[in-house]
Structure 1
Amino acid sequence: MLDRGVMLPGPFQVARALAATRVLEAPDLDDALEILHRDPVANAFVATRVEAVGLDPWRLGGEMWGWHDADGRLDALCYAGANLVPVNAGPEAVRAFAERARRQGRRCSSIVGPAEATATLWALLERSWGPARDVRAHQPLMATATPVTEVEPDPLVRRVGRAEIEALMPACVAMFTEEVGISPLAGDGGLLYQARVAELVSTGRSFARFDQDGKVVFKAEIGAVTAGACQVQGVWVAPEHRGKRLSETGMAAVVNTALAEVAPVVSLYVNDFNVRARAAYRRVGFREVGAFMSVLF
């Protein structure tokens, strides 16, 4: 339902909002990166894409919208691809991005980003885009820059090899289905999802512990990497092994490797209702540094 605290813009405000936004192009790259680097932890997901391929929509997998302040300076971004992600977006920028998104129509599978901006964005879009399949209004954003000392890292957690992708896939599918509520194999039969899993493995960003039968006991991936921070995703423990603190020892291994070899800060975000996971991450050294919100379609 539309938040009564969010006013729908009138015709003048709509025209002004649209005039202040545009699709960014190659000459805007430096300015866009400056905005992304203002908060390396919160912006890791978008920054890793832009740093890798620039602003070309075909390579980026979506458009990058920019919002300009009254002086004409680029001051906020919104990635519009498979996800709609506001970046450094204050109230005016959010309203502008919402109007552009409303006119374009929903093309994304989720809206995700800093909680305040995402909540306002969804409040403005819900009437035309709703209903959502699920709304996760508060997802603590956690980070650490300190190697783990309070938990013994699992020595059996290691990078997954390319020859192990087939053995890894069932765990990835199970994790995604538990977390998102739908199977990643729907639609295209899982081709895009399998390609993403293979990409993470091939770049050394997939970690797992296998048992003697070659089945995954614990897994996690580093989904985003920038010079300032990386973001862990897809943390999963096989159901029959839960309750053994494998998420703690496994994450300790991943965090220590990431800090030593990948980025100076390791982050993740977690559902607020997942009390056990939040406690495990705190024991590994993560601390809350903000909050995300996700709207799933």
Structure 2
Amino acid sequence: MLTTTTTKVLDPGELDAALAVLDREPVANAFVTARVLTAGLDPWRLGGEMWGWYAAGRLESLCYAGANLVPICAGPEAVRAFADRARRAGRRCSSIVGPAESTAALWALLEPHWGPAREVRAHQPLMVTRAMPPGIVPDPLVRRVRKDEMDLILPACVAMFTEEVGVSPLAGDGGLLYQARVAELVGAGRSFARVEDGQVVFKAEIGAATDRACQIQGVWVAPGHRGRGLSVTGMAAVLRYALREVAPVVSLYVNDYNTAARAAYRRVGFQETGAFMSVLF
């Protein structure tokens, strides 16, 4: 029994306790919750460690330490404990991402040791909806990407990632992990696109899904087709599917400077309910 404030790597037998923490904020935690529900807490299957912060023997906060470092339900004391553990372990992640307040506090403690970052996105509005808005007609040409269409969808995914993140996902391992993730979403029926003349002109994915909430990601309109309203009607099509077949709450987060995207999401019924922060290395 842990009787003092401390951190440790969770073992598989603590799955229920971890899920109870994640369930406190089902929308904000959808990404990590979906991974845990699929893989459990075994680090090899999870793709990283799940750190726990305990007070008086009770698990109170989590931090996912994989390709991303993600603080979860972490107050100031938990953030300090996670920062100390991360500092001692050395940087293994490509980003820190999570709720803005706890992520900012974590980065403030790690920046002297891990900095400088390639980019800090301090305020990324978290947007949520529970219903389709009246008056918006979903694009009838947006459909699920088929499993035999990887050669069609992958260039659009690479273009979106490079434009959004600033580096190509094909760097490093030649894109093997990124291609596997795209294939996973296509295989699960959670990749959507509008195709014109053999080219993807709009795409989006449902990147994380639980029975409580799901998260749309990777929204992209081909540069030559912007200004046609495809992001609004395309998002409406993806949202209709998400609400009908995936979860009762749909979320996404967006860069605060992307005013066009924020306006498009508001037209489809999304409202800002909080904020994320990303630190990119």
TM-score (norm 1): 0.92
The offset of 1:83, in angstroms, is 0.1
Aligned to 2:260: 276
Q: Distance in 1 between matches of 2:118 and 2:134?
A: 40
Aligned to 2:166: 181
Q: Distance in 2 between matches of 1:132 and 1:242?
A: 31
Superposition map of 1:130-149 within 5 A: 130-149=115-134
Where does the alignment leave 5 or more consecutive residues of structure 1 unmatched?
1-17
SS in structure 1 at match of 2:220: strand
Superposition map of 1:141-220 within 5 A: 141-211=126-196, 213-220=197-204
Aligned to 2:79: 94
SS in structure 2 at match of 1:94: helix
Mapped contact 2:69–2:95 kept (Cα < 8 A): yes
The offset of 1:101, in angstroms, is 0.1
Superposition map of 1:1-297 within 5 A: 20-69=6-55, 71-211=56-196, 213-297=197-281
Q: Distance in 2 between matches of 1:268 and 1:79?
A: 19
The offset of 1:103, in angstroms, is 0.2
Amino acid aligned to 2:10: L
Aligned length: 278
Q: Distance in 2 between matches of 1:143 and 1:19?
A: 34
Mapped contact 1:148–1:255 kept (Cα < 8 A): no
The offset of 1:152, in angstroms, is 1.0
SS in structure 1 at match of 2:274: strand
Mapped contact 2:35–2:46 kept (Cα < 8 A): yes
Where does the alignment leave 5 or more consecutive residues of structure 2 unmatched?
none
Mapped contact 2:203–2:218 kept (Cα < 8 A): yes
Q: Distance in 2 between matches of 1:185 and 1:74?
A: 38
The offset of 1:182, in angstroms, is 0.2
Mapped contact 2:146–2:186 kept (Cα < 8 A): yes
SS in structure 1 at match of 2:34: helix
TM-score (norm 2): 0.98
Mapped contact 1:148–1:256 kept (Cα < 8 A): no
| Runs of 4 or more consecutive aligned structure 1 residues displaced over 4 Å after TM superposition | none
The offset of 1:264, in angstroms, is 0.7
Q: Distance in 1 between matches of 2:188 and 2:220?
A: 20
Amino acid aligned to 2:275: A
Mapped contact 1:21–1:65 kept (Cα < 8 A): yes
SS in structure 2 at match of 1:244: coil
Aligned-pair RMSD on alpha carbons?
0.9
Residue-by-residue CA offset, 1:22-63 (whole Å, 9 max, x unaligned): 000112110100110111110001000001111000000000
The offset of 1:208, in angstroms, is 0.3
Q: Distance in 2 between matches of 1:104 and 1:148?
A: 47
Q: Distance in 1 between matches of 2:10 and 2:258?
A: 37
